[in-house]
Structure 1
């Protein structure tokens, strides 16, 4: 076999250059003819980063959490941005159109409200968390927002998205340092209640077998609340800039000031125990039950399981011989104690989802009633300043006396209301009556659908009324806004219960609390003006006592007349 002779040659750059140069020249010529060639480097770099990112995402917890957070953040921002832009476009189109007559304009505006409300509802449901709470606030603003908005948001009161089993187990493990099944021998993964901030499950404590309610915060809340608050505030600032006559930033301010307090379940446990103590001596009047707290962490609350039915379940009351009139009276005593009694806190979220009624045997119930009213969700309480309680009492007694100058005086003192237009709007909002009825208040006259429609029509047809209401809400103390909300709840529940004693009974209950506050204020003033045990001090106190007894006696006889009137009506 023959082979070619092999000769070792020395490598030189010149030899390589001479050999390669013609080839490179040919390639350049072909490349020029074919057009520019895309670099192959970037696809490889991107593929490398993708491979590295994917590997880190599934193997490194910190990288996984950071990537997930960035993705969800971008998603939440885009949901809010797109929904806001679409709503602004809807209103821009309608407000920029000249309509032939008022009826056509009103119908077009109604359609715009409905479209914008549905877009907003979808965005709130997508982002969940505090957006659900915002929607619940919107649904309650029936006295300022169009019905298209408030009705569209109503499903958020009872249909809040729930957190998954994996999310709950992971949060429990992080917060408690143990697996959930190490603490509970039985845990029902089907929640009995889902709210905007948390959901409640029924469980049995391992070892004792005690049946408990476990309130678990939605895990995503803590991570995204700062971002969500910023986004919500930005949206309301935009609304205020575009529609300066309708300031809405007070809504986001209220949410921002309260949300971090509500997210601390240790604080909720303290509020629940404090309320139990404050109402311990009022059980006969209120029949109030607050579930006992067993254990609390920042995001986990374990409490006594106390089940009940909705307060507006008239069929349940009928089947169990529960008097709606008694329920209404107890409810009135609960919230009037919170508003008027010194050093008692006011529950900040008094809606139907946080109230229930349960059957108890009268022999077991010290109040003598055959039911208890259960109050849930004690995450946020506010304490009304003593002087504001007293000014508010004077205001309601002035309404009872049809004393308009006194009404105006105390409306200015406790709510900062000035001017006749704002006063008319305010008294309608706080009484739930149209201004003419409110200024000549007749407690025997019930509110009907015609009057409710008249109030709504007044807001959107009479010039300056809605603007005045928006200005009032933007500038009044936030605690007064909460009082308005509580008034709405008790008024609507009273109407829903079909109280046979009518609105007079609840009004008379409130008037007694007002009379007590005014009497206590007069005694305190006497002590400041006169030295104790002097003739002037004694005479002033006697005068205050007679004024108080006169007021209470008139309320008592009115209540007695009301009782006999209804008794006669039941036999006729």
Structure 2
């Protein structure tokens, strides 16, 4: 079969090695051995997959991780390729370039939408953030992401039951006598089921975190920040890295539902003496774990459901006023937290019997999802108050002064853009505030036109928003919500009352600041102390009286209209 082969390699060195010969060809044997090896490995892997839980879970995790990374990577490459082709192409006119860019936006947005829906979880939340950035991103992107507001992937009952057993230590149906298999609401981080407590018979809402989030959130955060960093390198005019940072800073807080329980209880306490002004209802917390929260069941219609309001004889003007009181109180009142996700899905209107209600209205405004709150620093509240009072007084120098103080805005050009962003109005109207003028479609078209056609305007806006304090961005978002809801409600009182309510809260914040300053500057009960405190009080009462006389005027106007 073999013979020894002697090979001389030099002085005193030689190599002795066997040489094999076979009647069969070597490639066939190698293939046969290879098949045996692959078959053995496959059999072992299959056996481990079905018999060893650790190996099974590790293999499944590796597969799902690879799939998620692949979805993000493929979508990113496709989008970059779309934009690369458009940006490198030469067009006969600017109009042709804009049309091609619009088509690229639409195509890339739809690719991204499919990727976000495929991966689910925090990617849905990211899409919701993109949808809300109407003043920043092209409309092709924001409108494409709209389905993510109401179309979130749901977790299966099997997943929910397994998580409930792990977290609560008992089976789901041991805890509840009834539990709806179909969720009444599905969001990016959780879904809500209606149930009945077995021990008390109370009907409750059960909010359950999507079980898959715990496994993939760190990876998803990393991928999100990586994509935004790449976007910033390719499109420096769209610096959205702050969005990834904001997501990272907030997501772990939101994923701990015990934080939501504390926030809900604090908000209910802060508003308990303001029910006549706000009609606010916070569902009471029954129990809270990190991934499961059980609360009082309080149902309602969407806040923009005008048919529901007409059917139940709810006055949209009163609803608008209550909304203004709720969010202005959160923004301007010391030690009150600001709800960080105040979109339409987290607010509901609920008809009640006025005779038995504790708020003097025939409705309640229900506020859900208290997972994330921010506490605005006191000085920022005060500087922001000065800024709004300057807008209402058409005092441009003071507007500039306080825009710099609370948002770091420098320069006339950036100031004009910022004033338009924070008021949601055309720059000229923002600079010469006329609170009786209703924002119409023509004004919105003009704002969009200036944003995307004037040289450098969009770049300046993106720079402003990426560099300003995150708390100011949250205030901007809240302003957008209340403004859009006010317009949706078709408030018969117009925007005047909304701005007068805002002015009242601003005046109170400035009044408190002036009292504090006077106490530091002047000896208590001295002539200067009395004089300056009286001046501050008169200024505050002047603001308050504006709202009072406006309400009196509108009351008699409505009475006169009814008589005629």
In the alignment, the residues of structure 1 paired with residue 133 and residue 560 of structure 2 have an alpha-carbon distance, to the nearest angstrom, of: 39
In the alignment, the residues of structure 2 paired with residue 427 and residue 486 of structure 1 have an alpha-carbon distance, to the nearest angstrom, of: 15
What's the offset of the Cα at 1:105? 1.2
In the alignment, the residues of structure 2 paired with residue 468 and residue 570 of structure 1 have an alpha-carbon distance, to the nearest angstrom, of: 50
CA contact (8 A) 2:497 2:547 kept: no
Residue range with higher mean Cα deviation, 548-557 or 562-571: 562-571
SS of corresponding position for 2:295: strand
Question: When the two structures are superposed, what TM-score results if normalisation uses the length of structure 1?
Answer: 0.93
In the alignment, the residues of structure 2 paired with residue 340 and residue 454 of structure 1 have an alpha-carbon distance, to the nearest angstrom, of: 31
Aligned partner of 1:27 in structure 2 is: 23
In the alignment, the residues of structure 1 paired with residue 379 and residue 169 of structure 2 have an alpha-carbon distance, to the nearest angstrom, of: 47
Q: Which has the larger radius of gyration?
A: 1
Aligned partner of 1:229 in structure 2 is: 221
Residue range with higher mean Cα deviation, 62-71 or 518-527: 62-71
Aligned partner of 1:425 in structure 2 is: 417
1:501 counterpart (482, 485, 493): 493
CA contact (8 A) 2:500 2:546 kept: no
What's the offset of the Cα at 1:47? 1.5
SS of corresponding position for 2:249: helix
Determine whether 1:201 maps to 2:193.
yes
The CA RMSD over aligned residues, in Å, is 1.6
List, as ranges, runs of 4+ consecutive aligned residues in structure 1 with deviation greater than 6 Å. none
Determine whether 1:47 maps to 2:47.
no
Residue range with higher mean Cα deviation, 244-253 or 397-406: 244-253
Aligned partner of 1:355 in structure 2 is: 347
| TM alignment of 1:250-261, pairs within 5 A | 250-261=242-253
Determine whether 1:549 maps to 2:546.
no
Gaps of 5+ in 2: 4-19
Aligned partner of 1:402 in structure 2 is: 394
Aligned partner of 2:448 in structure 1 is: 456
In the alignment, the residues of structure 1 paired with residue 69 and residue 335 of structure 2 have an alpha-carbon distance, to the nearest angstrom, of: 42
Distance 1:25 1:389, change over 3 A: closer
CA contact (8 A) 1:272 1:378 kept: yes
2:356 counterpart (364, 381, 387): 364
What's the offset of the Cα at 1:61? 1.5
Aligned partner of 2:106 in structure 1 is: 114
1:282 counterpart (274, 281, 289): 274
What's the offset of the Cα at 1:260? 0.1
In the alignment, the residues of structure 1 paired with residue 123 and residue 407 of structure 2 have an alpha-carbon distance, to the nearest angstrom, of: 29
CA contact (8 A) 1:250 1:473 kept: no
In the alignment, the residues of structure 2 paired with residue 147 and residue 39 of structure 1 have an alpha-carbon distance, to the nearest angstrom, of: 59
CA contact (8 A) 1:501 1:563 kept: no
In the alignment, the residues of structure 1 paired with residue 428 and residue 59 of structure 2 have an alpha-carbon distance, to the nearest angstrom, of: 60
SS of corresponding position for 1:303: strand
Question: When the two structures are superposed, what TM-score results if normalisation uses the length of structure 2?
Answer: 0.95
What's the offset of the Cα at 1:278? 0.6
Aligned partner of 1:415 in structure 2 is: 407
SS of corresponding position for 1:281: coil
1:299 counterpart (282, 291, 300): 291
Aligned partner of 1:85 in structure 2 is: 77
Q: String of CA shifts for 1:56-88, please: whole Å, max 9, x gaps.
A: 111121111111111110000000000000000
In the alignment, the residues of structure 2 paired with residue 173 and residue 58 of structure 1 have an alpha-carbon distance, to the nearest angstrom, of: 23
What's the offset of the Cα at 1:555? 4.0
Aligned partner of 2:333 in structure 1 is: 341
In the alignment, the residues of structure 2 paired with residue 371 and residue 559 of structure 1 have an alpha-carbon distance, to the nearest angstrom, of: 20
What's the offset of the Cα at 1:106? 1.3
Q: String of CA shifts for 1:103-150, please: whole Å, max 9, x gaps.
A: 211111111111000000000000000000000000011001111111
Aligned partner of 1:517 in structure 2 is: 509
Gaps of 5+ in 1: 1-12, 15-23
CA contact (8 A) 1:508 1:559 kept: no
Task: Tell me the matched-pair count.
Answer: 547
CA contact (8 A) 1:203 1:212 kept: yes
Aligned partner of 1:127 in structure 2 is: 119
Q: String of CA shifts for 1:263-282, please: whole Å, max 9, x gaps.
A: 00011111111111011111
